[in-house]
Structures are given as structure tokens and as C-alpha cells.
Amino acid sequence: MAEVRPVRGTRDHFPPDSRKQRYIEATAMEVAGRYGYGEISTPIFEFTEIFARTLGDTSDIVTKEMYTLADRSGESLTLRPENTAGVVRAVLSAGLTQQGPLKYVYRGPMFRYERPQKGRLRQFHQVGAELLGVAEPAADVECIALAADVLAALGLGGTVTLEINTLGDPDSRRAYTDGLVAYLAQHRDGLSEDSRTRLERNPLRILDSKDPGDRAVVAGAPSILDSLNEASQGFFAAVCAGLDTLGIGYRINPKLVRGLDYYSHTAFEFVTEALGAQGTVLAGGRYDGLAEQIGGRSLPGIGWAAGVERLMMLIEEHGKQPPAEPRPIAVVPQSPAQDAAALRLAHELRTGGLTIDLGYGGAMGKRMKRANKINARAAVIVGEAELARDRVAVRDLDSGQQDEVALAALAEHLARFR
């Protein structure tokens, strides 16, 4: 028989990992709700053009990593490699651009064809937030504060560092790009083949390169902070002042950029040293030109996304563990003659909100062994003599104490074992 295995770069989430995933997502949803963000759910695939336009045809994601297919009508569709473009497309499709501010939080799978490694999968999950329709720096402060609060709620606040930079407005960005290209052109022979291609089409991406030769060249590159005009300096100062007001620590990293033209002003990442080379836990930035890139009207926006699998790795070592699942209460018939009564009782207790385990067969001794194996908190023993008096026996499996309880008072009695 052929080996049955998952596709490379994918992962099955069994308990307790699935509980950790649910905990991270639920925490992000709960914290975002305090900020007034509502959950948005978009399709896991879009027309390929949405990502080709927004991610850029020179990006690694578009050229190497997208899962693209043609449907039966010949349309080119792509599994989403990220969700910001899908959220903005959804807002444009629904005609919501004049109803801002629009505040959304999301969760779900993303897909990229890349070499699987620690914390990086081909199907991975993200939680993220988008704030649309607000051009003021206060939106940037709120978005970063939300991200910091999510990480703090997971117990990770002390394990991550916020790095922040500005790309300035379009004029500042153009001025910096001109200066950067002039510098890189003088060091063209030291650049990798990919970066020499990017030099002509997307030079800011070179600052993100992990190639050792590129990094050596980039170390001497001019800083974008030296190219900011007065308006851009004021915007960045306002963002930093807002973070200072909230007591959110940060480190300015002039090499932290976003390579596409629709990005402007704030770029930020929460990074950690606990995951080796894959140190970015959460990343975001302002994308005021994205809606126009897709084909809609101008709509300022800022957002972030975090990889759930990476967060799972972090909380295993450094964060808060998910709340323990409630220990079940076992319902155990004394003999097959009480199976029907046990079934009815288990159903009543479940609909009353209790976590109930009901074995599927076997003698009482076998069922009690199962109760111990699943770490049941108590056992409700359904016996013939007790049923005749509308009663059952309840055994505390931690202390061993056993009481006889009237059926009418059973739910109240079991409440202590929740």
C-alpha cells in the first residue's frame, strides 16, 4: 500500500496543537474587538490579477511562490499568499470606501510555495488586522498598539521587540529611491543576480535581501531618514510620539522597508530571537496606494499580519498556555440494561452545558478504566437499584468519595466539577 502522507509543507493540527491555534486566533479576535474591529472573512482564492497587481511582478511571491490554477472557464485563480489585498478588494467590491473608518480583523490559511523550514509552511495560518479610511498618524499608533496588545495577551510582550521605520510620502520615497539607486549602481558587481534585476524595477526590495553579498553592500547604503521632507518627518514624529504616550517601546530600523509603490509612511515588525533566522513574528505597514493599485478609488490603509504557527512555537516556550480543556464527567451504566437510561442522561447533561463522556460498550470495569484514562473528573454510575429510586451514584475520581444523588439535583451537584 502506498504511503499516505500530507503534502510537503503542510501540517495536520491535532489536539493539543489545534487548541493552541484556536486560542491564538480567539485571543486576537477578542483583543481586536476591544478596539472596535469586526471579523471579516474573504475567499481563500482571488483572481490572479489581484495579487499580480499588488505584490508586484518582480516579487518572489509572484514569480516563485504563488499557487495559481486555471478554472474550467479559463480564469486564472490564485490561492491567497496574504490577505490584505483580499480585504481591500472586498471593501471595493462592496462599495464601502466612503463608510470609513473600516476596522477588520481576520484569521485563516494562506499559501506560498517555498522551502519548508522551522516556522514556515506552504499552507500556514495568519491572524491580522486592517484599518481603512484613515490618513492620520493616529491610525498607525492604534494599529501598532493593537498588535502589541495581542502579543501581550499571549504572554509574548517580553519576548519581542518592535522595529519601526518610515518610507515617507511619495515625494520622499522617490527622492530616497533615486539616491539608493545611485549608490547601488556603484556597487552593482557586488549584488546578487536577483538584486541586479531588482535594481532596475524594484530597488527597495534589495534592502530586504538575505544574500550575504547584498547585505554587505546594503550596510553602506544611505538612510531613508535623510530623504524625508518636512511633512514626512512630522508624520513619523507623530507616530513615535503616540507610541511614547502609550509606553510602547520601539527601535528605529532605517533598513526596514516595503518594496512596492503603494506603501508609504509607517513600516513595522515585531521580531524575536527565539525562532532562529525566522525572527519576524508580526509585520505591518501603511499602504495608502493599494486600493488604487487594485483599480478602485483612493483609500488610505494600514494593517498587520502574524503567523499563527510561529506564535504557537513561541507560546510553547515563552507565552501563556491555553486554558485547560474542561475535564469530562463519565457516565457509566452498571450493565447493558442501563444503556438507554445512561444515553438519555448523558444527552441531558450535555445540553445543560457539561462535558460528558459516554463509553460505547463494555462492562462497568472497562468503562471506569476509560474514565481514568481520559482523566475524567467524576463518574456518574447508573445502576438498576438507584434508578428505581430516581437516583444515581456520583464518584469523585480525585478523592474517591462517592455520593448518591437524586436525578433532579444531579446537574447542580455536578456543577462543582466544571
**β-bridge partners, 77:** 47, 69
Exposed, middle or buried: residue 108 (CB in 10 Å: 0-12, 13-18, 19+)? middle
Last residue of a domain, one of 250, 283, 317: 317
The answer on pLDDT for 260 being more than 80 is no
Q: Is residue 155 part of a domain?
A: yes
Of residues 215, 216, 220, 178, the one with CA closest to residue 199: 178
- Residue 105 within a domain: yes
Looking up residue 407, the CATH number of its domain turns out to be: 3.40.50.800
Residue 347 reports pLDDT greater than 90:
yes
Question: Is residue 42 within 8 Å of residue 281, measured between CB atoms?
Answer: no
In a shared domain, residues 287 and 342: no
Q: Domain ends where: 251, 283, 317?
A: 317
Q: Let me know: does 81 contact 112? Beta carbons within 8 Å.
A: yes
- 257 and 137 assigned to the same domain: yes
* 399 and 270 share one domain: no
C-alpha cell at 63: 514569480
From the CA atom positions of the chain, what is the Rg in Å? Answer: 28
pLDDT value of residue 52: 84
In a domain, 174, yes or no: no
Q: Is residue 215 part of a domain?
A: no
Give the model's pLDDT for residue 147.
Answer: 98
What average pLDDT does the segment 170-195 reach?
89
Residue 317 has a CB neighbour count (10 Å cut-off) of 9
Q: Are residues 333 and 381 in the same domain?
A: yes
> Sorting pLDDT into bands at 50, 70 and 90, what band is 60?
low
Q: DSSP letter for 62, please.
A: I
Quick one: 141 and 261 in the same domain?
yes
Q: Cα–Cα distance between 331 and 329 in angstroms, integer?
A: 7
Where a domain ends, among 291, 317, 343? Answer: 317
Please say whether the dihedral angle defined by the alpha carbons of residues 350, 356, 360 and 363, taken in this order, is positive or negative: negative
Q: How far apart are CA 15 and CA 247, in angstroms?
A: 37
Strands (E), 161-265: 161-166, 251-252
Beta strands 378-382 and 329-333, pairing class: parallel
> What are 10-58's pLDDT values in tens digits?
888 898 889 999 999 999 999 999 999 999 999 999 999 998 887 765 5
347 three-state secondary structure: helix
CB atoms within 10 A of CB 343: 14
Query: 108 with 242, same domain?
Result: yes
37 lies in the same domain as 140: yes
250 shares its domain with 345: no
Phi, psi of 391 (to 5 degrees): -135, 165
In the three-class reduction of DSSP (H, G, I as helix; E, B as strand; rest coil), residue 266 is classed as strand
Pair (401, 281) in one structural domain = no
- Write out the three cell numbers for 236: 513619523
pLDDT-based confidence at residue 119 (cuts at 50, 70, 90): low
77-94 burial: b if 16+ Cβ within 10 Å, else e: ebbbbbbbbbbbbbbbee
Quote the CA–CA distance of 414 and 342 in Å, as a whole number. Answer: 15
What is the tally of structural domains in the chain? Answer: 2
Q: What is the pLDDT of residue 395?
A: 96
List the CATH number of the domain containing 29. Answer: 3.30.930.10
Same structural domain, 236 and 364: no
What letter would DSSP give residue 320?
Answer: P
Lowest-pLDDT range, 83-87, 122-126, 211-215, 309-313? 211-215
Q: How many CB atoms lie within 10 A of CB 208?
A: 16
* Residue 216, helix vs strand vs coil: helix
What is the extent of the structural domain holding 149? 17-169+229-317
**Claim to verify: residue 401 and residue 300 sit in the same structural domain:** no
Asked whether residue 291 is assigned to any structural domain, the reply reads yes
End-to-end CA distance of the chain: 45
**Residue 179: enclosing H or E segment and its boundaries?**
helix 170-186
What value does the mean pLDDT take over residues 188-203? 86
* 318-323 long-range contacts, CB within 8 A, separation 24+: 318/155, 318/156, 318/158, 318/159, 318/274, 319/154, 319/155, 319/156, 319/159, 320/153, 320/154, 320/155, 322/16, 322/19, 322/20, 322/22, 322/23, 323/23
Is residue 8 situated within a structural domain? no
Q: Is residue 271 part of a domain?
A: yes
Look at residue 320 in the predicted model and tell me its pLDDT. Answer: 87
Tell me the pTM.
Answer: 0.89
DSSP state of 415: G
Q: Please, what is the average pLDDT of the chain?
A: 91
Shared domain for 358 and 285, answered yes or no, is no
**Has residue 245 been placed in a domain?**
yes
